[in-house]
């Protein structure tokens, strides 16, 4: 073929020749105005996803004998990001020589975040939560990660009606979801079953009663296993009990509580044959392995141009070993799922906590690990990013 | 604790996106030291995957073009071979070219790979198109050959040779897609069907250079397209692994904040957000010149020429994607194609205009990965991803409080349009959902306005003059070259890899000249 657009082929050729001079001219004649320093979309991205936040403890009170509510404000800027009710933050602190952090579901609502207020409630159950319950005082400063997590309502996925089941301190994300619903920011209607041993162990009963009074789409049922109380059900959160209050076939379930509760509810709901999508469970932290005589190993950690050699134990995650040694290794969910601690494995065998291997397929192929759920089986060497 | 000796690097690559990863390998293969900095905790930039429930979603790759089979490799497979990563990745072939649907003219066309098969199919849809579509491919083949020649001489083409050997390339070279198709007297319907790939380049066919479009189409149709089985994350990790094998360093969660220069404007290092300084005289930036000259490079080194050149350029589309994990198989849902292009109108100029506003944009390029790789999700399920672009900064109007609702609104519209145009009802099968907006792209990759396509390759800034000016463009900022979607080759996986290859090899050239005292 012979391509020709203009009458004479050489005119097409000439036109081709002009492309470079034209572009050269256009580049030289661009406006000599300062290049933008900010872009609206990027400003919003930074607001919603600030990464790490500097926070200060502004108020604290006990909501049960063993659960302390902590209120924070941001000190690096004026407000917390707007988030999705049900999400968590990870709070980091130095205890002794250790640099430690734990994820906690947010109790306060997304609206309150914009008023520079973020509330957590921490059950006294371990090393870090013990510190937050007993030692942390007003005015203390912490590093906090941005709100994260997929335990939240999804308009296009979930049923309009949600059935929430809380066990003990698992009430926290539902406080935010109920509060946000009462604020008028959520499209769902919510029935909350809140289980505890005794009435004294129900945190936030007064707050929930007040929310129920002002929000017609919220219903709360208290279920006590060890005590008879007026206004509360006695027993466990069984299918039969739930059916008394709501339709279970046309709902999406949100569960937050101990593993034993998940197992119980799963069994109760099994006869309904609900699709997988109808059950959403909040993740729980990955702890130590129960082991009588755990092996002791050497863990070599590369962080940028530094190399650290530290002790590791067979029953502790690599993340725990690094924290113990005071290394600032990135982590968020501590449950294997968020991938924030993604690190390169270099040598040494390991095991991943049962049911918690949240790695991508190619991570396994090319030797990447999530230290928050990985236990050493011998001396190991890994390459880990610096958190900040 | 032991500390490695502090060292300066021959080259620092900023950004482990597709371009940066390849550039780093090229530097290391030539025997120079290289540090790759990445602000996120993963390599790849857009080339990654993420998990939700029992699904591992592909973040962005629809199909990798110019890849070809092991026996007849395309340019990108050849590049991967040279980089030493081809065999680290398991590949699957994409079954068909595309499924075009337009709301206005009710097109519903499934186009195959293979030049002859494509022509026959086109004639079936548009009987009077045989001559023009055949000529189109002849022209495209010449375009491809001319570009291969140009690459082989690193852009230093001999113009007499070009005119003699590739006359049609030169004659058609300054025209838009539509101008060339009109000259070939292609019937409107054939033009409409042929132009379906336009959204991959993000410029309407009145303003998109024929050379650019033709070279892409010919690569897709004759060399077909491929995917890594473990999503694009597999490619990114293969490249990461190769960099480590070659002795390179990669630092994740390490954001380069400043590019340091001396009083003569010569590059002297990079400073991270935490203040750490790394010495180097050569930088390859896998990010936009808007960020480099606007924020990163020390003010004293920013020249008027840099500011003018950067301001003269126009951002291409801002990305929006919806990811769905469905609890029924593609077959059960009636989803038959791998790759759908659904447009309001076959008129690319009108469509581009509609894409400027979030509210009037209903375009989608939609993939059901199971139709290329059935095992990508558990049995009885399938995965889909829907992508569109906004051709203005309209998304910038979204407020913080409305953000999640806006994401839902656009996602819902994508589902509505897909269901309406294909008749496949998917809504009730949604088990997992994730939405990425321009804000998400801005968050992870830092691109201004959440742009995913770099600078528009339209009119004066089209691909050909960019390639011909590669050398002189780089003279503006000695010691600094660009890779990735904002570089000379523009956006898209293959282009980004090739830009990394070019900038990597050119930087090696700079280093060699420097050693010789030139």
pLDDT tens-digit series, residues B293-348: 999 999 999 999 999 999 999 999 999 999 999 999 999 999 999 999 999 999 99
Quote the pLDDT of residue B7.
81
What does the pLDDT look like over A281-318, one tens digit per residue?
Answer: 999 999 999 999 999 999 999 999 999 999 999 999 99
Quote the pLDDT of residue A6.
84
The residue among B221, B250, B277 that closes a domain is B221
Among A77, A236, A256, which Cα is nearest to A176's? A256
Cβ(A124)–Cβ(A68) under 8 Å? Answer: yes
Same-domain check for residues B146 and B202: yes
Which residue in B has a C-alpha nearest to residue A79's C-alpha?
B400
B360-365 average pLDDT score: 97
Q: How confident is the model at residue A136 (pLDDT cuts 50, 70, 90)?
A: very high
Quote the pLDDT of residue B517.
84
Q: How confident is the model at residue B5 (pLDDT cuts 50, 70, 90)?
A: low
CA distance B459 to A139: 59
Q: Which residues pair with A167 in a beta bridge?
A: A195
Quote the pLDDT of residue B4.
54
**What ipTM was assigned to the predicted interfaces of this complex?**
0.97
| Residue found under tokens 């392995």 | A289
Same-domain check for residues B131 and B210: yes
| B52 to A34: CB separation less than 8 angstroms, yes or no | no
The residue among B166, B186, B221 that closes a domain is B221
Which residue in B has a C-alpha nearest to residue A40's C-alpha?
B396
Give residues 12 to 71 of A whose Cβ lies within 8 Å of B: 12-13, 15-16, 18-20, 22-24, 26-37, 39-42, 44-49
Start-to-end CA distance of chain B, whole Å, equals 43
* Beta strands B55-58 and B49-52, pairing class: antiparallel
Q: What are phi and psi of A250, to 5 degrees?
A: -120, 50
Quote the pLDDT of residue A243.
97
Question: A275 in contact with B at a CB cutoff of 8 Å?
Answer: yes
A23-32 average pLDDT score: 98
In CATH terms, is domain A296-383 a member of 3.40.50.1980? no
**Alpha-helical segments (H) within B166-280:** 167-172, 177-183, 188-194, 198-201, 210-223, 232-245
| Residue found under tokens 């336009």 | B198
Q: What are phi and psi of B428, to 5 degrees?
A: -70, -15
- Residue B278's SS3 state is strand
Domain holding B303, by residue range, is: 11-48+73-82+229-312+458-515
Quote the pLDDT of residue A10.
84
Distance from CA of A361 to the nearest CA of B (A): 6
Q: How confident is the model at residue B495 (pLDDT cuts 50, 70, 90)?
A: very high
B360-380 average pLDDT score: 98
Q: State the average pLDDT for chain B.
A: 96
CATH class of the structural domain A45-145: mainly beta
Q: Is the pLDDT of residue A17 over 70?
A: yes
Q: Which residues pair with B320 in a beta bridge?
A: B388
Which residue in B has a C-alpha nearest to residue A365's C-alpha?
B234
Cβ(A105)–Cβ(A256) under 8 Å? Answer: yes
Cβ(B208)–Cβ(B140) under 8 Å? Answer: no
A360-368 average pLDDT score: 98
For residue B482, tell me if it sits in a domain. Answer: yes
Same-domain check for residues B126 and B215: yes
Question: Within 10 Å of residue A247's Cβ, how many Cβ atoms?
Answer: 12
- What is A161-281's CATH number? 3.40.50.80
A56-75 average pLDDT score: 98
| B234 to A30: CB separation less than 8 angstroms, yes or no | no
For residue B336, tell me if it sits in a domain. Answer: no
Among A299, A312, A319, which Cα is nearest to A371's? A319
The one-character DSSP state at B270 is E
Question: A77 in contact with B at a CB cutoff of 8 Å?
Answer: no
- What proportion of chain A, given as a percentage, has pLDDT over 90? 95
Quote the pLDDT of residue B142.
95
Same-domain check for residues B292 and B260: yes
CA distance B25 to B34: 9
What does the pLDDT look like over A67-102, one tens digit per residue?
Answer: 999 999 999 999 999 999 999 999 999 999 999 999
Among B277, B266, B238, B272, which Cα is nearest to B252's? B272
Q: Is the pLDDT of residue B151 over 80?
A: no
Rg over alpha carbons for chain A, rounded to the nearest Å, is: 26
Q: How confident is the model at residue A178 (pLDDT cuts 50, 70, 90)?
A: very high
Cβ(A311)–Cβ(A298) under 8 Å? Answer: yes
User: Which two three-digit tokens encode residue B154?
Assistant: 């690193």
Q: Which pairs with CB-CB distance under 8 Å and at least 24 residues apart come from B355-358? A: B355/B317, B355/B388, B355/B389, B355/B390, B355/B391, B356/B390, B356/B391, B356/B392, B356/B394, B357/B390, B357/B392, B357/B394, B358/B390, B358/B394, B358/B395, B358/B406, B358/B410
- What proportion of chain A, given as a percentage, has pLDDT over 70? 100
| A385 to B252: CB separation less than 8 angstroms, yes or no | yes
Domain range list for chain A: 45-145, 161-281, 296-383
Among B107, B93, B94, which Cα is nearest to B339's? B94
Quote the pLDDT of residue B157.
82
Q: How confident is the model at residue B286 (pLDDT cuts 50, 70, 90)?
A: very high
- Residue A280's SS3 state is strand
| A3 to B446: CB separation less than 8 angstroms, yes or no | no
Q: Is the pLDDT of residue B401 over 90?
A: yes
pTM, to two decimals: 0.97
CA distance B278 to B257: 12
Please name the member of B3, B295, B460 whose beta carbon is closest to the beta carbon of A306. B3
Residues of B in contact with A155 (CB under 8 A): 408, 412
- What proportion of chain B, given as a percentage, has pLDDT over 90? 93
CA B53 remoteness from chain centre: 28
Please name the member of B163, B401, B465 whose beta carbon is closest to the beta carbon of A82. B401
For residue B216, tell me if it sits in a domain. Answer: yes
Same-domain check for residues B214 and B233: no
Cβ(B482)–Cβ(B460) under 8 Å? Answer: no
| B307 to A33: CB separation less than 8 angstroms, yes or no | yes
Among B237, B286, B241, B240, which Cα is nearest to B49's? B237
* Helix axes of B493-515 and B18-29: crossing angle, nearest 10 degrees: 30
- Residue B423's SS3 state is coil
Give residues 321 to 380 of A whose Cβ lies within 8 Å of B: 330, 337, 339-340, 342, 344, 358, 360-363, 365-366, 368
Same CATH fold assignment for domains A45-145 and A296-383: no
Outline where DSSP puts E strands in B333-414: 339-343, 364-368, 382-390
Phi-psi region of A226 (alpha: psi -120 to 50; beta: other; left: phi over 0): alpha
Same-domain check for residues B196 and B240: no
CA B317 remoteness from chain centre: 12
Same-domain check for residues B125 and B211: yes
| B440 to A82: CB separation less than 8 angstroms, yes or no | no
Residues of A in contact with B91 (CB under 8 A): none
Q: Is the pLDDT of residue B155 over 80?
A: no
Q: Which residues pair with B185 in a beta bridge?
A: none
Please name the member of A3, A114, A156 whose beta carbon is closest to the beta carbon of B183. A3
Residues of A in contact with B2 (CB under 8 A): 306-309
Quote the pLDDT of residue B6.
65
| B443 to A307: CB separation less than 8 angstroms, yes or no | no
Task: Write the CATH number for B511.
Answer: 3.50.50.60
Residues of B in contact with A156 (CB under 8 A): 408, 411-412, 415, 427, 430, 433
The residue among B221, B241, B257 that closes a domain is B221
For residue B391, tell me if it sits in a domain. Answer: no
* Beta strands B11-14 and B34-37, pairing class: parallel
Same-domain check for residues B147 and B168: yes
What does the pLDDT look like over B88-147, one tens digit per residue?
Answer: 999 999 999 999 999 999 999 999 999 999 999 999 999 999 999 999 999 999 999 998
B221 Cβ contact partners less than 8 Å away, ≥ 6 residues apart: B97, B113, B114, B115, B118, B137
Query: What is the total count of domains within chain B?
Result: 2
**Rounded (to 5) percent helix, strand, coil in chain B:** 45, 20, 35
Cβ(A303)–Cβ(A384) under 8 Å? Answer: yes
Q: What DSSP assignment string belongs to B86-151?
A: GGGS-EEE-S-SEEEEETTT--EEEE-SSHHHHHHHHHHHSGGGHHHHHHHHHHHHHHHHHHHHHH
| B307 to A35: CB separation less than 8 angstroms, yes or no | yes
Residues of B in contact with A276 (CB under 8 A): 53-54, 327, 431
| A42 to B466: CB separation less than 8 angstroms, yes or no | no
HSE-up (13 A, CA, CB side) for residue B438 = 30
CA distance B498 to B479: 20
Same-domain check for residues B240 and B169: no
Residues of B in contact with A31 (CB under 8 A): 308, 311-312
Q: Is the pLDDT of residue B2 over 80?
A: no
Alpha carbon distances (Å) from A88 to A210, B38, B164: 24, 26, 66
* Dihedral sign computed on CA atoms, order B455, B460, B463, B469: negative
Mutation target among B16, B35, B185, B237 for the A interface, most CBs of A within 10 A = B237
Quote the pLDDT of residue A291.
95
Please name the member of B88, B293, B327 whose beta carbon is closest to the beta carbon of A276. B327
Mutation target among B51, B165, B251, B397 for the A interface, most CBs of A within 10 A = B51
Same-domain check for residues B248 and B303: yes
Same-domain check for residues B189 and B216: yes
Same-domain check for residues B256 and B288: yes
């Amino acid at each position: 073929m012979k391509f020709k657009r203009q009458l004479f082929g050489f005119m097409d050729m000439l036109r081709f020749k002009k492309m470079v001079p034209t572009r050269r001219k256009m580049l030289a004649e661009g406006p000599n105005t300062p290049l933008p320093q900010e872009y609206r979309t990027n400003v919003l991205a930074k607001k919603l996803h600030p990464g790490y936040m500097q926070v200060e403890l502004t108020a604290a009170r006990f909501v049960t004998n063993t659960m302390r509510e902590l209120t924070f404000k941001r000190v690096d800027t004026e407000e917390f990001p707007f988030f999705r009710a049900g999400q968590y933050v990870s709070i980091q602190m130095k205890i002794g020589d250790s640099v430690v952090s734990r994820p906690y579901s947010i109790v306060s609502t997304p609206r309150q975040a914009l008023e520079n207020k973020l509330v957590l409630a921490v059950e006294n159950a371990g090393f870090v939560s013990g510190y937050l319950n007993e030692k942390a005082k007003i005015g203390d400063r912490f590093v906090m990660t941005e709100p994260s997590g997929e335990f939240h309502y999804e308009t296009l996925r979930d049923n309009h009606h949600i059935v929430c089941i809380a066990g003990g301190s698992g009430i926290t994300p539902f406080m935010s979801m109920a509060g946000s619903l009462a604020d008028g920011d959520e499209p769902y209607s919510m029935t909350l079953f809140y289980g505890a041993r005794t009435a004294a162990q129900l945190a936030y009963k007064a707050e929930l009663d007040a929310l129920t009074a002002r929000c017609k789409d919220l219903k709360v049922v208290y279920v006590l296993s060890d005590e008879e109380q007026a206004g509360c059900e006695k027993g466990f959160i069984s299918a039969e009990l739930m059916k008394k209050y709501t339709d279970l076939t046309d709902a999406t379930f949100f569960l937050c509580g101990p593993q034993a509760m998940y197992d119980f509810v799963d069994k109760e709901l099994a006869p309904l044959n609900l699709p997988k999508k109808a059950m959403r469970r909040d993740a729980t932290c990955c702890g130590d392995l129960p082991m009588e005589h755990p092996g002791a190993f050497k863990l070599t950690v590369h962080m940028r141009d530094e190399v650290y050699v530290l002790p590791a134990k067979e029953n502790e995650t690599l993340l725990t070993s690094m924290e113990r040694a005071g290394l600032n290794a990135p982590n968020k969910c501590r449950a294997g799922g968020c991938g924030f601690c993604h690190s390169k494995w270099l040598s040494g065998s390991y095991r991943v906590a049962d049911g918690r291997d949240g790695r991508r397929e190619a991570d396994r192929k090319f030797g990447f690990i999530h230290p928050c759920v990985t236990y050493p089986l011998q001396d190991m060497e890994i390459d880990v990013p610096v958190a900040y | 604790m032991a500390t490695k000796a502090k060292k300066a690097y021959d080259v620092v690559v900023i950004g482990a996106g597709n371009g940066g990863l390849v550039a780093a390998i090229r530097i290391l293969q030539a025997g120079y030291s290289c540090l790759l900095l990445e602000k996120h905790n993963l390599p790849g930039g857009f080339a990654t995957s993420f998990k939700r429930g029992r699904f591992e979603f592909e973040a962005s790759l629809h199909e990798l073009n110019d890849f070809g089979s092991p026996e007849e490799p395309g340019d990108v497979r050849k590049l991967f071979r040279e980089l030493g990563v081809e065999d680290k990745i398991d590949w699957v072939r994409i079954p068909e070219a595309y499924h075009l649907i337009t709301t206005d003219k009710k097109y519903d066309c499934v186009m195959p790979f293979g030049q002859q098969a494509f022509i026959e199919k086109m004639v079936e849809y548009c009987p009077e198109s045989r001559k023009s579509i055949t000529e189109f491919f002849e022209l495209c083949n010449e375009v491809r050959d001319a570009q291969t020649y140009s690459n082989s001489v690193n852009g230093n083409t001999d113009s007499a040779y070009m005119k003699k050997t590739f006359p049609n390339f030169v004659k058609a070279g300054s025209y838009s897609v539509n101008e060339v198709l009109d000259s070939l007297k292609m019937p409107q319907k054939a033009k409409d069907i042929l132009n379906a790939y336009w959204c991959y380049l993000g410029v309407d066919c009145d303003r998109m250079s024929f050379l650019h479009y033709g070279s892409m189409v010919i690569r897709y149709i004759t060399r077909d397209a491929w995917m890594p089985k473990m999503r694009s994350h597999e490619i990114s990790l293969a490249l990461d692994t190769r960099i480590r094998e070659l002795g390179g360093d990669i630092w994740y969660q390490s954001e380069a904040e400043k590019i340091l220069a001396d009083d003569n404007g010569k590059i002297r290092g990079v400073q991270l957000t935490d203040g750490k300084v790394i010495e180097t005289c050569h930088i390859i930036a896998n990010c936009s010149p808007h960020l480099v000259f606007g924020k990163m490079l020390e003010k004293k080194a920013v020249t008027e020429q840099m500011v003018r050149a950067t301001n003269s350029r126009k951002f291409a589309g801002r990305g929006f994607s919806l990811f769905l994990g469905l609890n029924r198989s593609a077959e059960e849902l009636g989803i038959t194609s791998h790759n759908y292009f659904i447009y309001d109108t076959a008129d690319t100029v009108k469509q581009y205009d509609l894409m400027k506003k979030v509210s009037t944009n209903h375009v989608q390029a939609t993939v059901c990965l199971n139709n290329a790789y059935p095992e990508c999700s558990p049995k009885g399920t399938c995965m889909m991803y829907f992508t569109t672009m906004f051709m203005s900064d309209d998304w910038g109007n979204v407020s913080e409080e409305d953000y999640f609702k806006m994401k839902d609104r656009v996602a819902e519209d994508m589902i509505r349009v897909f269901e309406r145009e294909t008749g496949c009802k998917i809504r009730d099968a949604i088990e997992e959902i994730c939405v990425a907006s321009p804000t998400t792209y801005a968050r992870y990759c830092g691109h201004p306005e959440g742009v995913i396509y770099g600078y528009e390759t339209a009119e004066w800034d089209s691909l050909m003059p960019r390639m011909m000016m590669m050398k002189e463009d780089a003279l503006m900022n000695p010691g600094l070259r660009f890779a990735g979607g904002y570089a000379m080759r523009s956006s898209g996986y293959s282009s980004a890899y090739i830009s990394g290859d070019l900038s990597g090899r050119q930087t090696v050239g700079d280093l060699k000249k420097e050693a010789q005292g030139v």
